[in-house]
Amino acid sequence: MTDDMLRAPAEVKYAEELEWLESVDDGPKPFSWRLSPRMVRLFVLGSERSDGLDREIPQKWFGDRSFVERSIVTLASDRGLLLIGDPGTGKSWLAELLAAAICRNSTLVVQGTAGTTEDHIKYSWNVSMVIAKGQSRQSMIPSPIMTAMEQGVIGRFEELTRSTSDVQDALISILSEKYVSIPELDDDNIVFAQPGFSIIATANSRDRGVNDLSSALKRRFNFIKIPVVTNKRSEAEIVRFRTEELLRRHNIELDLPPTLLDILLQSFADLRAAAASATSDDEKLESALSTAEQIGVLEDAILHSNFFGDRTLRAGTLAGSLVGSLARRTPEDLAILNKYWHGVVEPRSKQDGGEWEGFLEGGRQAIATLS
Amino acid sequence: MSPFGALREQLLDAATAFAGAPAALPGILAGLVDDVDRALAEPLEIFPVCHHSPASALAMVRRLREKQPKVIYLELCEDLRPLLPELRNCRLPVALQAFATDLDGFPPAWGPLSMVAPITEASAEYQAISYALETPGVELVLVDRSSDHVFQWAPKPETETEATGHGEEAALHGDSVGVEIGDLRPRFAELEEHLIHHGKVRHWSEWWDQYVEQPLAGADYDTYRQVMVLIGGLFRRLRPGGGDRPATDEDRERYMWTRIREHLAASGADPAECLHVCGAFHAASRVEQFGLASDAPYEISPRTATRWLYGLIPSSHSAIEAQFGLASGSVSIAAATWAKAVARGGVTPFRLAGRPDTRKRPARAGKAAPVPRTEVTDRLSGFLSTPPAVDELDEAELLGWSVDIVRLARRNGYLASTADAIAVFETSLLLAGIRDRARPTPYDFQDAAVTCIEKDVVPGRRDVRRLCEILLGGDRVGAVGYDSLPPLARDVYDRLAPLGLDTQKRTIQRALLDLGADPELVPCSDLLWMLRYLLPPDAVRPIMGGRRLGERSIQESWDLALGRHQRSLIELGYEGVTIEQVLEQRLRRAVWEPAATAAVALAAVEDALLFLGGKRFVDELGARAVELLAAERTVDDAPEVLRRIRRLLGYYRATGPVLPAWCEAFVSAGYAHYCTLLPTAFVDEDTGVRQVGAMLGFLFTMESLALALGCDRAQLELAVRQSHPEAPAKVALLWAAQSQLGVLPQAELRSRCDELLANPLVVPSFPLYITGFVQALEPAPGLAGFVVEVISKAFGRLPDSVLLPWLPKLITMLRDQAGELVPVLVREAGRTFPGTLAEVDAWVPPWSARPAPEASRDPVPAGPVTGLLVAHPSALDAVAELLGCEGEWQDLATDEPDDQEVRALLSAHPETAFAVSALLG
């Protein structure tokens, strides 16, 4: 089944693993959860020998253990979960994994945009059916959230803060009363949430202030802040994990040399340090320099070397992708990259040599092309 | 799963992971059992403890009540023993401190040596100390190596113990080296990381709490002992072989056992009535001196001749955490756990009587007969197969916390409500469940509170995590009671008593001193100024009022934070008995240091005058200043010396009829000294123009005094003549000096400058000349007008490319020496330039208004002598040739109207002239 999809949702991709976990799970399960909280944690964070399982469960989300625990516990309580953090920190991935583990359905998603209306959260009508048969449950189109309520599963709301405040506030009654009334219908006009229903929302901390959550809504969500991963070891694991997945998906046979991964991580770490010490926005790259961005750079480089190169990932290609992905504003971003290349990469290539030399050359060319 | 099952699995896992080869594992496991067996079979009862472990403290209380030992051997530096009774007067936590400044046998760079051993109430050692001190007939013997040995055995001053800023409470220990009883922690980072990772906890304190503390809380004594020794043995076996630490650990064990055997032999105590309290790590020792049965010799190395001073300093939970690398809040949580266990009853802790905050003396537990120790039974294998009973109180406590944290959060700006309290409570339980804990720990509660209450922004100063720490006891800061303070500190408190403030409080207090109305406060003010000199800047801070030479305020106001800086005050107490004595010592030490300079000595003289008075001491310092000046080979300090000696001379002239002898000696020595160094200073590249300026300033402004004291002006003239500087700034300075000496007329100086300005090759360096002239304002204030003129010309005529880059330099130079240079320059400029805008248009600079040099020459008056010389010029020409002067004869002024009139007048009334000539004969 996964072969038919460009990107299979977590519950499809890890279906077999989830089945197995459910079969060995003997812990207490809240509501209609398919796995106990401990097993959910194990599914997300991977197993260890001390867990005493017969098979190894790989780690799927990399980050502080307590974030996952707090998220799971929140979903078991009667509050919604709001994952908040910089772009590319893995909020949506964590949300998807949690939904997949808890209810095997991570696709009940509402995407928050400036154009999201209350209909997207509650329900809308199939106009031609209404004309033909009048308003009834059959002619009603339930939103993903309402579907989640009816089925007692987890509904997801991506980029909550991108939608306007009045739309956000439609969630208040859903989260506190746990039902949606349909005043247009005379009977059967209330949809009650089944046990197990909860909402995982994500919000981008860079959007703060665009559409601030009302305090009434804030109260109904537990906030979990996901920080940018700065631990080099876990970041390397994330990048490797995601890239391998990508290579599998594209059926690309290509080696990822560890030295190049180191170079990528190191250069991101340097650029982050530079951004942290910058005093104005002009001295900062526009990019958040998140882990996802790194994966993007690596993906770009891999695809480039696979289709246009000699099927070997080279430092020069990586440098070109890095410059290409990070230089969004001319001349500010280019100037920063230029400074970085000459101030940091050049001395390092002289000192350490190796792949850094190719990296230096590739970056220079890329900057020259863009400027 | 039993509580210890998890622990065992963890430890075995760790042992497998770090044992190297799988074959080593059975060896380690067998060794662990051997360790436990050996420690428990020892006839002298060993009580293994861990620092900041309430479980240890509880087990200690129970054991002490049960066994009632007669002698307690404690793992603590033996030379700290006399301090222990002083704990009665203190509010815990405090730290026992050993301090040494006079080093003998240690590299001088290590000094001052300072070592602290913090004592908290929730510790097993405090229980043992209280029991021993409060129970008659019980002897407390400290058996660990002395403070001196701590440093003897240290490879270098330990850097790990640096208290790195978590606020001021965390810095309470300063840079002391910390020692603790029962340091039980993996000895290498990987093992700790492994345990934390597999224990699914965040830091070491949490691991300890979950895997050892909680299961042990209700365990019986045998289980407690066996588990502690087991953990100690594991960490001992899994430690890296290299480094000095294992050797030090073993040396300490040899030391302790040797001391114990010595004491037993000397006192004849029955080992069955003794208790040896030591870290679990040391309980699993394998040194050959271990045990009473051993007679392996160990020679204790003698102490060095360093003189150690001892005292108590205040400590705090955060200081302990910072010093020993514990997670923030962990000591507070341990204290809260202890308080909870005590409140729950079952144990009555020992307390030292006379503690300031002892509410009521706890009832002594009924004296049960000492229980003899029974045979050691194996508790390890059957590790607690029953889970701990669910405790009613825990739920009530958690409920209380949940309600309290919401209240606290509301007070700190969070929109928290009762719904949040419910959510926190529920989430704590769920979190404990997901983390395999029988009941929520404070750490779970903290996580739950953060989850439920923390939103996207922190509204106030503190976030929820910090609020939780406060709720769970917060940081507690100890204080050393008055009676335990060193005499100096007590003296300070006594002498500040007239202020009517509680100076022991930790808040900042404002003291208002109206010295005019209350003359009896003058001694307080004197003391405060001395404290300001000796203590860190925040301890006492004057808000209003100042003290300078010859200047005293009639009203002063001070911010006093002595309570917060109690440690600094106590450490001052190691230096002397009174503040005056310490100050005198410090000043004397400053001037006798090998690196001392004349400027330092003059500063010391000034401080002595300000704070101590006393002619004898001031004279002694002054004499030293003269000595230092004469021995100096550089003139780097010349500006400082000049400033200070001027101020001192001004002070002495204003206050007494005669200058002190040392002042006169200083001036005459300085005159000779600077004259000698002047030529070298002028050419030496390393000597700045400012220094040379200051030397000249000294020479010119002190000249009259120096000459009066018998110095010779010729010395200065010769020195100036010998100076041949090359740097433009110094050349300008030399010109100024020559002009001041009368060797170089101002007109000549002016023409030289004009030449420089006219020469395009020199123009770029012209600003340097100005720098020199500006510096010359100090030695030759008479040149001020000329300096204004040169600067004005430079502004007018220098090209922008030269002028603009130099301007900032001029400004920074003037700002650096604003006190001396700017007033002179501004006054002179005000005199030269027009005062109003309207006058500017018509203004002509005085120097351009002057007639041309030819015209300015004074006409040679006609007269009989002139006439004669003009008539016979050969003699004068010869003289001029001999002297090397070139010149030409001027025309005689012939028709000067003034002259004519005078002549006419005299011809008309010749009587006066005749009378005069008659008078003159």
The predicted-structure confidence for B28-76, as pLDDT tens digits, reads as follows 777 777 788 788 888 888 888 888 788 888 888 888 888 888 888 888 8
What number is the average pLDDT over the span B686-693?
86
Cβ pairs A/B, distance under 8 A: 65
pLDDT bucket at B773, cuts 50 / 70 / 90: confident
With CA atoms as reference, the chain A residue closest to B430 would be A73
Statement to judge: residues A197 and A273 lie in one domain: no
CA distance B323 to chain A (A): 25
Q: Note whether B447 contacts A: Cβ–Cβ < 8 A.
A: yes
What number is the average pLDDT over the span A183-210?
86
Give, as one character, the DSSP assignment of residue B763.
G
Q: Note whether B200 contacts A: Cβ–Cβ < 8 A.
A: yes
CA distance B243 to chain A (A): 27
Q: Say what the pTM is.
A: 0.63
pLDDT in tens, B701-758: 888 888 888 888 888 888 888 888 888 888 898 998 888 888 888 888 888 888 888 8
Statement to judge: residues A146 and A253 lie in one domain: no
- Residue A136 or A252, more confident: A136
Q: What angle do CA B407, B410, B412 make, to 5 degrees?
A: 115
With CA atoms as reference, the chain B residue closest to A70 would be B451
Which residues, including other chains, have CB under 8 Å from residue B540's CB and lie 6 or more apart? B528, B531, B532, B558, B559, B560, B561, B562
Q: How many residues does chain A have?
A: 371
Is the CB of B200 less than 8 angstroms away from the CB of A215?
no
CA distance A54 to chain B (A): 17
For the ranges A92-101, B176-185, B466-475, B580-589, the one whose mean pLDDT is highest: A92-101
Helices B728-741 and B661-683, packing angle to 10 deg: 130
Is the CB of A69 less than 8 angstroms away from the CB of B450?
no
CA distance B393 to chain A (A): 23
Statement to judge: residues A195 and A302 lie in one domain: no
Statement to judge: residues A289 and A353 lie in one domain: yes
Please name the member of B198, B202, B426 whose beta carbon is closest to the beta carbon of A77. B426
Statement to judge: residues A240 and A277 lie in one domain: yes
Structure tokens at B433: 């469940």
pLDDT of residue A125: 93
Q: Note whether B451 contacts A: Cβ–Cβ < 8 A.
A: yes
pLDDT of residue B357: 47
Listed range (A60-74, A312-326, B843-857) with the worst mean pLDDT: B843-857
pLDDT of residue B161: 40
> Which of B12, B210, B426, B456 to substitute to test the interface with A, most A CBs within 10 Å?
B456
- Residue B884 or B559, more confident: B559
Please name the member of A66, A79, A223 whose beta carbon is closest to the beta carbon of B423. A79
- Chain A residues within an 8 Å CB radius of B431: 69-70, 73
Q: Over 80: is that where the pLDDT of B617 sits?
A: yes
Is the CB of B13 less than 8 angstroms away from the CB of A69?
no
pLDDT of residue B18: 65
CA distance A27 to chain B (A): 10
Nearest-angstrom CA–CA distance, B723 and B713: 16
Boundary (domain end) residue, out of A187, A211, A226? A226
What number is the average pLDDT over the span B2-25?
64
In this structure, the number of other CB atoms found within 10 A of the CB of residue B614 comes to 13
Transcribe B428-497 into DSSP letters: HHHHHHHTT-SS--HHHHHHHHHHHH--SS--SSS-HHHHHHHHTT---B-B--GGGS-HHHHHHHHHHG
Given a contact cutoff of 8 angstroms between Cβ atoms, the answer to whether B403 and B421 are in contact is yes
Q: Over 90: is that where the pLDDT of A99 sits?
A: yes
pLDDT of residue B23: 61
| Nearest in space to A168 (alpha carbons), one of A91, A99, A80, A96 | A80
Statement to judge: residues A237 and A178 lie in one domain: no
pLDDT bucket at B295, cuts 50 / 70 / 90: confident
Listed range (A53-62, B170-179, B572-581) with the worst mean pLDDT: B170-179
Q: Note whether B9 contacts A: Cβ–Cβ < 8 A.
A: yes
Q: Note whether B190 contacts A: Cβ–Cβ < 8 A.
A: no
Share of chain B above pLDDT 70, in %: 85
Statement to judge: residues A105 and A120 lie in one domain: yes
Statement to judge: residues A113 and A23 lie in one domain: yes
Nearest-angstrom CA–CA distance, A47 and A42: 6
**Burial readout B157-181 (b: 16 or more C-beta within 10 A, e: otherwise):** beeebbbeeeeebbbbbbebbbbbb
Which residues, including other chains, have CB under 8 Å from residue A121's CB and lie 6 or more apart? A110, A143, A145, A157, A167, A170, A171, A174
Is the CB of B431 less than 8 angstroms away from the CB of A224?
no
Give, as one character, the DSSP assignment of residue B346.
S
Given a contact cutoff of 8 angstroms between Cβ atoms, the answer to whether A206 and A91 are in contact is no
Per the structure, the count of domains in chain A is 2
Cα→Cα distances B293→B165, B260, B290, Å: 48, 12, 8
Query: Residue B255: exposed, middle, or buried by beta-carbon count in 10 A (0-12, 13-18, 19+)?
Result: buried
pLDDT in tens, A224-254: 988 887 777 778 888 888 788 778 877 887 7
Boundary (domain end) residue, out of A203, A226, A249? A226
pLDDT bucket at B163, cuts 50 / 70 / 90: very low
- Domain residues for the domain of A156 are 2-226
With CA atoms as reference, the chain A residue closest to B12 would be A50
Q: Note whether B328 contacts A: Cβ–Cβ < 8 A.
A: no
Q: Note whether B433 contacts A: Cβ–Cβ < 8 A.
A: yes
- Chain A residues within an 8 Å CB radius of B198: 48, 50
Is the CB of B13 less than 8 angstroms away from the CB of A76?
no
Share of chain B above pLDDT 90, in %: 2
CA distance A278 to chain B (A): 23
Given a contact cutoff of 8 angstroms between Cβ atoms, the answer to whether A289 and A275 are in contact is yes
CA distance B202 to chain A (A): 8
In this structure, the number of other CB atoms found within 10 A of the CB of residue B512 comes to 13
Question: How far is Cα of residue A257 from the mean position of the Cα atoms in its chain?
Answer: 26
pLDDT bucket at B242, cuts 50 / 70 / 90: low
Statement to judge: residues A86 and A166 lie in one domain: yes
What number is the average pLDDT over the span B158-179?
54
| Nearest in space to B560 (alpha carbons), one of B502, B485, B498 | B502
Nearest-angstrom CA–CA distance, B448 and B428: 5
What number is the average pLDDT over the span B463-474?
82
Residue A81: helix, strand or coil by DSSP? strand
Is the CB of B452 less than 8 angstroms away from the CB of A222?
yes
With CA atoms as reference, the chain A residue closest to B197 would be A65
Secondary-structure breakdown of chain A: helix, strand, coil percentages, each rounded to the nearest 5 = 55, 10, 35
Given a contact cutoff of 8 angstroms between Cβ atoms, the answer to whether A99 and A145 are in contact is no
Given a contact cutoff of 8 angstroms between Cβ atoms, the answer to whether B474 and B332 are in contact is yes
Statement to judge: residues A13 and A120 lie in one domain: yes
Given a contact cutoff of 8 angstroms between Cβ atoms, the answer to whether A284 and A278 are in contact is yes
pLDDT bucket at B363, cuts 50 / 70 / 90: very low
Residues of A with CB under 8 A from a CB of B: 37-38, 41, 48-50, 65-66, 69-70, 72-74, 76-77, 79, 84, 203, 205, 208, 213, 215, 218-219, 222-225
Statement to judge: residues A343 and A207 lie in one domain: no
Listed range (B174-178, B517-521, B659-663) with the worst mean pLDDT: B174-178
Is the CB of B415 less than 8 angstroms away from the CB of A49?
no
- Chain A residues within an 8 Å CB radius of B447: 66, 69-70
Given a contact cutoff of 8 angstroms between Cβ atoms, the answer to whether A33 and A77 are in contact is no
| Nearest in space to B662 (alpha carbons), one of B616, B712, B614 | B616
What number is the average pLDDT over the span B861-867?
69
pLDDT bucket at B911, cuts 50 / 70 / 90: confident
pLDDT of residue B1: 41
Residue B544: helix, strand or coil by DSSP? strand
Q: Over 80: is that where the pLDDT of B329 sits?
A: no
Is the CB of B452 less than 8 angstroms away from the CB of A79?
yes
pLDDT of residue A82: 93
CATH at residue A162? 3.40.50.300
Cα→Cα distances B848→B750, B803, B844, B853, Å: 12, 21, 7, 11
Q: Over 80: is that where the pLDDT of B468 sits?
A: yes
Transcribe B298-317 into DSSP letters: -PPPPP-SPPPEEEEEE-BH
pLDDT of residue B389: 42
Please name the member of A65, A66, A218 whose beta carbon is closest to the beta carbon of B455. A218
pLDDT of residue A151: 92
Statement to judge: residues A217 and A236 lie in one domain: no
Looking at residue B401, its amino acid is: W
Is the CB of B434 less than 8 angstroms away from the CB of A224?
no
- Chain B residues within an 8 Å CB radius of A203: 456
Nearest-angstrom CA–CA distance, A183 and A192: 14
Nearest-angstrom CA–CA distance, B542 and B531: 11
Q: What are phi and psi of B865, to 5 degrees?
A: -65, -50
pLDDT bucket at B388, cuts 50 / 70 / 90: very low
Structure tokens at B795: 């502004």
- Residue A341 or B36, more confident: A341
Q: Note whether B431 contacts A: Cβ–Cβ < 8 A.
A: yes
CA distance A210 to chain B (A): 14
Nearest-angstrom CA–CA distance, B640 and B750: 31
Listed range (A34-43, B2-11, B559-568, B686-695) with the worst mean pLDDT: B2-11
| Nearest in space to B439 (alpha carbons), one of B507, B346, B340 | B340
Boundary (domain end) residue, out of A226, A252, A287? A226
Q: Hey, which bits of B291-435 come out as E strands?
A: 309-314
- Chain B residues within an 8 Å CB radius of A37: 430, 433-434
pLDDT in tens, B845-863: 877 765 554 444 555 556 6
Listed range (A2-6, A146-150, B560-564, B721-725) with the worst mean pLDDT: A2-6
pLDDT of residue B365: 41
Asked whether this complex has an ipTM greater than 0.95, the answer is no
Q: Over 80: is that where the pLDDT of B331 sits?
A: yes
Given a contact cutoff of 8 angstroms between Cβ atoms, the answer to whether B398 and B428 are in contact is yes
pLDDT of residue B377: 55
Is the CB of B431 less than 8 angstroms away from the CB of A205?
no
For the ranges A107-111, B164-168, B682-686, B782-786, the one whose mean pLDDT is highest: A107-111
